[in-house]
Every structure is written in structure tokens, then in C-alpha cells.
A and B are shown apart, each in its own frame.
Chain A
Amino acid sequence: MIGTIAAREIRSGLVTPLLWVLLGVGQVVLAWIFLQVVENFSGLDAEQRLASLTQELCLNLFGFAAVLAMLAAPLLAMRMLSAEFREGGYDLLAGAPVRLVEILLGKFIGLAVLITPLCLLPAANLALLTNVTSLDLGQVAAATLGLWLAALFFGAIGLQASSLTDQPGAAVLIAFGVLLLFSIIGRAESLTAQTLSLFGWLSWNEHLFRFLLGAVRLSDLTYFALFTGFFLALTHRRLANRRLQ
């Protein structure tokens, strides 16, 4: 049943223009950043180069792709619940012999599949250089994994926001608000004692940064799994409460 719901979401995502627009715009900007990084790097002498080309490209390309995923996930998620509440499509699922958890996982997997091409875009750009220079493929793989996990985390927040209202526009704004909070919360650290690292830990960019440097750490994996699970659980709760409201 999860597969049926996910397949429908993927099909709907592929036949509507939103995903293609996001991919197209994303690729244009990524190509521009890619060109700039390669241009700057090739203009430097060996002693001026502080980081390897892979490092430079990973930090810039994947860093921007993460911002792109942050914008894309709420937009893709708003269609999955919020717009269905408004247009009545959700009644089809609610009236069918389907568990709430199946609905939720189906939609989340659909969202994960739709956002995956966006996460592969930076690696696809880097693939152009494979015959020209030697790249640290391990680091690229780690960065891609980090970006994908971050995108899933954004997707879970997007779904949660989407379940809160039947106004898709409002759902996107709520998701942006929460994501922005999770982006800047790390800065709160500088306001208090330097030793307090809770806010830094809560911030997703700190964790993605480790992946971009090529380090796959269990604590970072746990962070993304924990918060993705947390927001999915909140969404489940919200869907269950809809019957009572």
C-alpha cells in the first residue's frame, strides 16, 4: 500500500511542472557556481591553493544545493497534504482501507524519490571532471549522502507544515519559517557561553558541513534520522487528529 501511494505521488510529481522547474533553475545556478569555482581554482598557483578542488567544489556546490533543497522540499510537500485537503483528494485515502502510517510513509517516500534528482545534481556536475582531473570520490559520495539526508529532513518538516493547514501557501511559509529557525539557531551559541553547544547541535548546517568535508559520523546520521522521524511522528499525530476536529 505504501508503494501504491508513493507511486501515485511520484507520477503526479513527474507530470506537473514544479519539479522540472526546480531542477532546471537549480542546474543553471549550480553550473554557474561550478564554472566560477573551477575558474578561480585554475587561476591560483599551487601554493595559493588552501583546499583541494574536490573540497572547494563540494563546499560550494553542495552548500548551494542544500539551500535549493530547502526551498524545494516545502514546495513539493505542500501538494501532498495541504493541497489535497483543500481539493478533497485526501478523502480518497481517508475513506479507503489504508492505515495512516501507510499514507504518511507513502507520501514521504514519494517526496524522497522526487527530491533525489535534485540531490544528485551537484554530483552530476562533478562527473564532468572525472576524465580531466582526479577527484576524491569518497568525499563526493559523503557530500551527496549528507545532502540527501538533509533533503529528507526538509521534506519531513515540509510534510508536517503541509498537514497543519489546507492553505498550501501558508504551509510553505510555515515550513520556511521552521527551516529558517533550524538554519540560524546555531548562531545563538555566540550569544551565550562558548561552551554551550546545544544550539549548534540543533542546527542542520553544522551537521551537513561534516558530510561536505567527507566525514560520515554516526552523530550526524543520528541527528538527521532523529529529526526526520520526529517531524514524521508529528505529522502522523496531526493526521490522526484530523478525524477528531
Chain B
Amino acid sequence: METLVRVTDLSRDFGRHSALSNVDLCLERGQVLGLLGPNGAGKTTCLRLLSGLLAPTSGCIEIQGIDLARRPLAAKRHLGYLPERPPLHPELRVDEYLTHCAHLHRLPRRAIPDAVATAKQRCGLEDQGRQLIAKLSRGYRQRLGLAQAILHRPSLLILDEPTEGLDPVQMRELRGLIRELAQDTGIILSSHLLPEVQSVCDRVMILHQGRVRFDAETSAARPTNLWRVRLGEDIDVMHLNALAPVAGAIATGPHQFQVHVRDEASSADLARAILQADLELFELIPERSDLERTFFDLIGAEEQA
């Protein structure tokens, strides 16, 4: 696979404060990388460094083999960037703004109308072309920000909290769009929402206090077959272990058990088996995923979770 971004030993200090330390990163075409972390973890700093808006204190960023520090113009041609606040000009109309962005990204004049129409169509802005940006709602502004980032079909897309301000339907649409875009680009997105990262990213990197604390494929951190069960009466754990869908169970408190369901069984099978055993089922909750556990373990907030 083609390597789009290679980051080596990236650090960035703001005065005495170190915002990012020794980050190494590699992204292939077709991959979606999620940067996860609490507020102030260094996600935005990392993305601003990758998009060339900030200069690193040390380290090297290569986009498609081009050093961003030495040849910024050539490197920036391959990237599309959606900052935390979409970089819009409220006094322009949507079409005017996108045309301006196309010029900035040096698209050939003849290709601009098509590029603008495609970007609008992908972001659901077909009917907003004549609309003044100042009159757009928050969600549409976010879409427009995304449209300017994908307008020139960059091979690397950097999205800083892309679902911020979107309603649940728009969020789902955006996730779909990200997966669609990921077919021929590499995407790095930041978020502090675990489910979002889990649902859309192939790989996740957890940042905390400017350092990478976890970097793994999300498939390795998918939810396991662990379920938390609360029953009406206190029974011996052996009763649960005897049920067909249960691979193993342990008592975690009064009336509470952690149950490992067999691979071929589902939560419905477990619920059915519990009821058929004449037990009262009060709660059946999936245990937190590995990723979620790792996240809270790493940031030391386990007790607040």
C-alpha cells in the first residue's frame, strides 16, 4: 500500500509548555486514522502541524514523500484540511466561496465548475449554491467546510472534529461520507467521541498530554462478547455457567455478573437462556470495549467513568 504520510519524532512546544512530544505516525492510502484524546491532549496541534499551519519544534512530516517543511507548496497540494472552525467567509455565497477555494488549490479553470458541483453533491449542498454563507446553519457551515477540503480531491484529508455541531442524522451521513472518501484517500480525523472513532476509523491513536499512549487497529479493539448481567436474586455463579450460550461467568457484586458469551451466541440467546432458567433478568449491558477501557485507563479517569 502507498504511504501517504510519514511523521517522525514530531514535537511542538509553546514556550515552556510541550503540546506534542515525539509523535511517530504512518498512514496508508485508504486508511482512516482517528486521533482520540481529552481536551488539551494535543489533537488540534498535531493536525495543525500536519496541515502546515504550524511549524514543528522538531521532527519531520512527509506527505507523499514530500517534506512539508522544505517544499510546503508541493506538499500542501496533496492535502485538504478542515479546521475546528470551518474557514468560511460569511459575506460570500456558497458557490463563490467554493470557486475561490478551487482557485486557491490551483485547480485548472475549466475543471472548477465540475469540482464545485461534485463537492456540493457529496456534502449535500446542491440547493445551497446561491445561499449567503452568513445565513447557513451550523451544520451546513460544517458541510461547507468539508466541501472546501475535498474540492480538489486531495490524497490526504485532515479533519479536526468534523462532526462537531451536527445533528445525529448529519453525523451518520458524515460517517458514511468519510468511509466513501476513504476509498481513494487517507483520512486523519480528531475527536473526543469514542463511538465516533470506533465506527469510522480503521486505526486509533490516543493522545494524552501531548504523547501517543495507544496506537492500534480498531478491529483489534472491537467490543468483546462480554456482557454485564444483573439478576433479581442472588444465585451461584455456577447456574450461569451452566447455561448454553455462556462460555464463562464471574460474580462482580450482589446480583451482578460478568458473562462471556460464546462466539456463535448473541445477547438475545443469553437473555432467552436466563429467562428459560426461571431467573429474573434486570439488566443486560455490553461491557465497555477494549478501546473505551484503554482510553479511560490511559487518561486516569477510570473512577469517573
Interface residues of A (CB under 8 A from B): 1, 4-5, 8, 11-12, 15-16, 87-99, 243-245
Contact = CB atoms under 8 A, between A and B. Distances in A.
Nearest to A86: B85
Given A87-B85, A88-B85, A95 B100 contact: no
Given A88-B85, A95-B51, A95-B52, A1 B104 contact: yes
A15 B85 contact: no
Interface stretch (B74-82, B113-121, B257-265): B74-82
Given A12-B92, A90-B87, A95 B53 contact: yes
Given A95-B76, A97-B77, A243 B86 contact: no
Contact of A92 (B14, B73, B87): B87
A243 B103 CA distance: 23
Contact of B92 (A11, A97, A244, A245): A11
A97 B76 CA distance: 5
A91 B158 CA distance: 13
23 contacts: A1-B103, A1-B106, A4-B100, A11-B92, A11-B96, A12-B89, A12-B91, A12-B92, A15-B91, A88-B88, A89-B87, A89-B88, A91-B81, A91-B87, A92-B104, A94-B52, A94-B53, A95-B51, A95-B53, A95-B83, A97-B74, A97-B106, A98-B104
B105 A8 contact: no
Interface centre among B51, B84, B96, B103 (most CB of A within 10 A): B103
Interface centre among A11, A16, A96, A98 (most CB of B within 10 A): A96
Nearest to A95: B81
A103 to B, nearest CB: 10
Contacts of A88: 83-88
B136 interface: no
B231 interface: no
Contacts of B87: 88-92, 95
**What is the interface residue range for chain B against chain A?**
20 to 34
B178 interface: no
A227 B148 CA distance: 37
Contact of B104 (A11, A12, A93, A244): A93
A93 B72 CA distance: 13
Contacts of A16: 91
Nearest 10 Cβ contacts at the A-B interface: A92-B87, A88-B85, A96-B104, A4-B103, A95-B81, A97-B76, A91-B87, A243-B55, A97-B73, A91-B83
Given A88-B87, A93-B104, A96-B104, A243 B54 contact: yes
Contact of A97 (B84, B86, B88, B105): B105
What is the predominant secondary structure among interface residues of chain A facing chain B?
Answer: helix
Contacts, number: 71
Contacts of B10: none
A81 to B, nearest CB: 14
Nearest to A99: B73
Interface in B41-98: 51-55, 72-74, 76-77, 79, 81, 83-89, 91-92, 96
Nearest to A241: B55
A171 B260 CA distance: 63
B101 interface: yes
A245 B91 CA distance: 29
Contacts of B72: 97
Interface centre among A4, A11, A91, A95 (most CB of B within 10 A): A95
B101 to A, nearest CB: 7
B51 A8 contact: no
Nearest to B132: A15
B44 to A, nearest CB: 11
A16 B134 CA distance: 12
Contacts of A94: 52-53
A126 B254 CA distance: 95
Given A91-B53, A92-B87, A97-B77, 17 more contacts: A4-B100, A12-B89, A12-B91, A15-B92, A88-B84, A88-B86, A88-B88, A89-B89, A91-B81, A91-B87, A93-B104, A94-B53, A95-B52, A95-B53, A99-B73, A243-B53, A243-B54
A109 to B, nearest CB: 15
A96 B86 contact: no
B76 to A, nearest CB: 4
Contacts of A244: 55
A16 B85 CA distance: 22
Nearest to A13: B91
A4 B88 contact: no
Nearest to B90: A87
Contacts of B89: 8, 12, 89
A94 B47 CA distance: 13
B118 to A, nearest CB: 19
A211 to B, nearest CB: 34
A97 B80 CA distance: 10
Interface string B128-150: 00000000000000000000100
A98 B77 CA distance: 9
Nearest to B75: A97
